[in-house]
Amino acid sequence: MFLKLRKSPKPTRELPSSDSSVIKKVQAFTMLSPDRLGNLFRLASELVSRSVGGDFVECGACRGGSGAIMAYIAKGEGWKRKVWLVDSFMGHPEPSKISGIDREIMKEWAGTMIASQADVRKALKTVGAYSEKHIRIVPGWFQDSLLSIKIRKIALLHIDADWYDATLLCLEKLYPSVVSGGYVVVDDYDNPSFPGVKQAVREFFADKAHEISFSFEVSPALTVKKG
Ligand SMILES: C[S@@+](CC[C@H](N)C(=O)[O-])C[C@H]1O[C@@H](n2cnc3c(N)ncnc32)[C@H](O)[C@@H]1O
């Protein structure tokens, strides 16, 4: 069961000021708090320093702010991996047949948070991390777009999709490609406004506790380390 997962303390190391300035630069392009951006920064940097191979992937890129952090680290490493930024770019969807707990809230949010691929490129350029060759911006509903791409190895999977059905789908399609030693970060896991996220995560990991070495929260995001 998921709750058996060991809690690891939240990383507390301060980022050097040059790195915190990157976090400041992306703030106009993201809904994530500096704490959560800092968590992505540290995890991506740690994967690089441990030489864990695999792409960085974000489901729910919106205007590209959190993705730009991952791209910044990939660029700093010399583009040894690709960065995939996936979003409908049509905002939030209407509820689906399996939306369940989210159904009523989804009706209110449908069509909000519309961003464009140009917004994402602008965010990446703001931190000097845009590369036609290494960045893959993938538009479309996850149920279509995730079928159209093949990502062999994932080192860091950031899911920021807000809903039960989208979170579950991203985990089902992409978690198998997350390498041992890689991380999955699910934003809004502990956000009472988006209860479906926790439900999807708990359901998905219910039979996978043995594959996880630890988990921790930088509230409301959950980080899980595979392997
Ligand atoms: C909270 S926003 C992501 C925020 C972003 N990570 C940031 O840095 O601000 C959630 C995104 O999920 C996308 N989304 C939600 N459900 C989706 C689906 N089924 N398919 C594709 N995109 C979806 C929305 O378009 C929205 O841009």
Ligand 1 site: residues with CB under 6 angstroms? 30-32, 60-63, 65-66, 87-88, 91-93, 113, 115, 141-142, 160-163, 166
Other beta carbons within 10 Å of 43: 25
Mean pLDDT confidence for 12-33: 84
Q: Enter the pTM of the model.
A: 0.95
Among protein residues, the one whose CA lies closest to atom 27 of ligand 1:
62
Query: Domain limits of the chain?
Result: 15-226
What pLDDT score was predicted for residue 1? 39
What length does the chain have?
A: 227
Encode pLDDT of 43-101 as tens digits: 999 999 999 999 999 999 999 999 999 999 999 999 999 999 999 999 999 999 898 99
What pLDDT score was predicted for residue 11? 52
By most ligand atoms within 8 Å of CB, the mutation choice from 41, 88, 164 for ligand 1 is 88
What pLDDT score was predicted for residue 174? 98
What pLDDT score was predicted for residue 18? 67
Residue with token string 């792409």:
55
**15-226: CATH topology:** Rossmann fold (3.40.50)
CA distances from 50 to 45, 88, 138, 181 (A): 9, 33, 28, 9
Encode pLDDT of 147-194 as tens digits: 999 999 999 999 999 999 999 999 999 999 999 999 999 999 999 999
What pLDDT score was predicted for residue 13? 57
First-residue to last-residue Cα distance in the chain: 16
Q: In what order do the strands lie in the sheet with 135-139?
A: 135-139, 83-87, 55-59, 154-159, 178-186, 221-226, 212-218
- Residue 7 scores a pLDDT above 70: no
